[in-house]
Structures are given as C-alpha cells and as structure tokens.
Amino acid sequence: MPYEPRDLQTVEVALLGVLCCGLPPSRAAGSDTFRVDHVTAVVTGLYESSQRDQHLAGDGTAVAQRFRQQLQAAIASLTEKGILEEQPGDMPAAPGGFEPGLAIDMVNPDVHPAVMDRYLAQQCMEVLFNAPAVYPYLMERYASAGEVWRRLRAGGYAAD
C-alpha cells in the first residue's frame, strides 16, 4: 500500500523530510546540529508549535529523552511499513544511504536509517518546506549542508 504524508504522524513526516535533505554526517560537519535526530527534533517543534527548542534538552543541541523515544518509535513504525530500513550500528552506510564513497561517519541506527521510499520522503520534505515556521530553519540547514559538502569535496572526499 503506498503511503502519503497525511497517513503518517508528524514526527514520521519530519524524519523522512529531514532524511531527504542530504545532510552531511555530523562528524564530518564538525557539529551535532547536523545530527538527524537534532534536526528532526527542531523541525518537529517548529512544525507543531513554532517553538524550535520544544524537543531539545537544556543545552539546545541534545535531543530530549522523550523525543528520542518518539523518534525511535517512528523509526520502528516506518521500518515496519517498509519505508525505512534500520542499519546496524558502527557500520558504514548502505549504498544509497549516503553519497557514494562516504565512509567518514558511521551509521547510528536510532538517528540515520536508510530510506526505502524516496518518493514519500521527497513528499514529506515538500510538506516541511511549505510550513512557514519550518522553511527558514530547514533552508539554513540545507544551505549549510551544501557548504560542508563543498568543503569535503575540496578536501578530496569522494574523488574516485
């Protein structure tokens, strides 16, 4: 059965949309603000209530435990539906999970599963970009990600 964003919970839409944005690995970017769980927490807060830090812990970077549990439940639900595929921890990303040749970051299964339904993820990203409270933040992350990818490529990354 094909799914649409309206069939999903808010955190599921946010996660799929964020995974579709092409964020670089947080280790390569040198910032935990590129972690998929962090970006998903911020996006979910902005989408639900226009409050960026609603799902973040006191330092503003770490994800609140309650949201981490919601995110894990969303990953399990999307995996059960065949939309995501969890990956073993401490293993390189599966082909197509990241850009070819990426071996800088290791997958953490509770924050970066592989997207099996790219079309649905693209639709979810569009839902997020159409949300006025989310758009500026997500575009900033997207633009910053582009800068990180350019820096990595200039440094010889994926120059096969």
Specify the pLDDT at position 2. Answer: 87
| Cα dihedral 99, 2, 124, 50 sign | negative
Q: What is the pLDDT of residues 79-102, one digit of tens each?
A: 999 999 876 554 444 444 444 443
Predicted TM-score (pTM) of the model is 0.82
Q: 61 pLDDT exceeds 80?
A: yes
Distance CA 111, CA 72 (A): 8
Q: 54 pLDDT exceeds 60?
A: yes
Q: 41 pLDDT exceeds 90?
A: yes
Residues 6+ apart with CB under 8 A from 95: none
Q: What is the pLDDT of residues 101-143, one digit of tens each?
A: 433 333 353 346 888 999 999 999 999 999 999 999 999 998 9
Distance CA 148, CA 13 (A): 25
